[in-house]
Amino acid sequence: MKRTFAFICFFLCLNIVQADTFEIKGNPIITDRFTADPAALVVGDTVYLYVGHDEAKEGEMFNIKEWLCYGTIPYIEQTKAGITVPPKTAEEVAQIKNPYADRPSEVGILGKKTYMFEATPSKPKSLGDDDFSTPAGFDTRKFGVEYGEIKTITYFSTTTENDRKATIILPPNFDESKKYPVLYLLHGIGGNEREWLGGNPNEVINNLVTEGKTKEMLVVIPNIRARHKDAGETEGFSPARFREFDNSLNDMRDDLMPYIEKNYPVLSGRDNRAVAGLSMGGRSALHVGINFIDLFAYIGAFTPAPGVLPGPRGEGLFTKETLTLPREYSGNKENRRNTINTLIMITKGSTDGVVGNNPTDYSNALKENEIEHIYTITEGGHDFNVWKVDLYNFAKRIFQ
């Protein structure tokens, strides 16, 4: 009975004229609610799912107060659909968050219209060749090469409850009428939003752009030590300090990424987002990238710090079993190397005495879980001589 009613309502909804609405933050998601049987519509490679929010009590057949519309994960693009739902205030909708939404600042249900999320396929990714060498001068300024403007931005973080800063490297000849992919570049345990500038990312990336080896991109370097009001001190390698870095996952999802997507002309979809970091930032890149795998297709962990897996410093962000990817992001088992749509790169310094064998352990866990990825050993220790090389090799493999 419910299933029949769901499909009847679905087809009736298709003929409703669109009504005016407005944008709000926060996303509905089918969790923590009892829902009626879904009605699905398949259009090409996209599945649209209409679900009734059923609040029926004992003895009632159904009591559907609203209809929600979802699109197949991954790679959500926002389009509008004229589907009637009962009035719902912005305040009510804003309380519902979907951590897996692709455009977290632009979706919701209001008045007599809902937003529709349209899925687009993610492209297969090549892991590239086995050449991880770098040419002379790859990280220096060259005659005839244009470099981007470096800016400091300020955004309000609901996570830390204060204004926070991030560094932005704009593409050369930045054009607001164009749209660009975004690389989020994460610092180490003692750094901040300025640390990566010591690794010459402007030069490394834009030398590659000039040679046609990577695409123009927006580079965002946040402060990933997300403590309350950015105040107070914690011991360098204490669990409390690690938790501050782990909290950056919330700051990126809820605050920084919405700010970037609202204020800069960036391409949507996971194929146009990458996250990478050095040391503690490499640990955070795995944390962010895997938890938000529907938002990021490229993950770079350069000599990642301890704590991704359980060890002396605590439980770990993952276990050996959970350091993996869902099947839809890791390729077909029968032909995985040619069908993967997520590129993960883990590096280790040949003489790195700081993070020890942790990068190798992380790579081995991915191997055990049959996740194709790049693991490479870079000549050197735990410093920018290694991380610049790693950035070069990562940057030329992203945004394929």
Return the structure tokens found at 253: 């999802």
Check whether residue 48 and residue 186 sit in a common domain.
Answer: no
Check whether residue 188 and residue 314 sit in a common domain.
Answer: yes
**pLDDT tens across 226-271, in order?**
888 888 776 667 777 888 888 898 999 889 999 999 999 999 889 9
Check whether residue 50 and residue 106 sit in a common domain.
Answer: yes
Report if residue 323 sits inside a domain: yes
Check whether residue 240 and residue 383 sit in a common domain.
Answer: yes
Check whether residue 64 and residue 212 sit in a common domain.
Answer: no
Report if residue 129 sits inside a domain: no
Report if residue 139 sits inside a domain: no
Report if residue 106 sits inside a domain: yes
Check whether residue 91 and residue 159 sit in a common domain.
Answer: no
pLDDT reported for residue 57: 67
**pLDDT tens across 201-231, in order?**
999 999 999 999 999 999 999 999 888 888 8
pLDDT reported for residue 115: 33
378 bridge partner residues: 349
Per-residue buried b or exposed e for 184-205, using 16+ beta carbons within 10 Å of the residue's own CB: bbbbbbebbbebbeebbbbbbb
**pLDDT tens across 42-73, in order?**
555 445 555 666 666 666 666 666 555 555 43
Q: Could you tell me the CA-to-CA distances from 201 to 62, 167, 173, 219 in Å, in that order?
A: 57, 12, 17, 9
Check whether residue 344 and residue 269 sit in a common domain.
Answer: yes
Report if residue 112 sits inside a domain: yes
Return the structure tokens found at 107: 């979706």
Check whether residue 295 and residue 169 sit in a common domain.
Answer: yes
Check whether residue 336 and residue 247 sit in a common domain.
Answer: yes
pTM of the model: 0.73
Range of the domain at 284: 150-395
Report if residue 124 sits inside a domain: no
In this structure, the strands spanning 298-302 and 343-349 are parallel
**pLDDT tens across 280-311, in order?**
999 999 999 999 998 999 999 999 999 999 98
CATH number of the domain that residue 277 is part of: 3.40.50.1820
Q: What average pLDDT score do residues 326-330 get?
A: 84
Report if residue 108 sits inside a domain: yes
Check whether residue 276 and residue 201 sit in a common domain.
Answer: yes
Check whether residue 329 and residue 200 sit in a common domain.
Answer: yes
Q: Of the candidates 119, 139, 171, which is a domain's last residue?
A: 119
Report if residue 132 sits inside a domain: no
Number of structural domains in the chain: 2
Check whether residue 76 and residue 213 sit in a common domain.
Answer: no
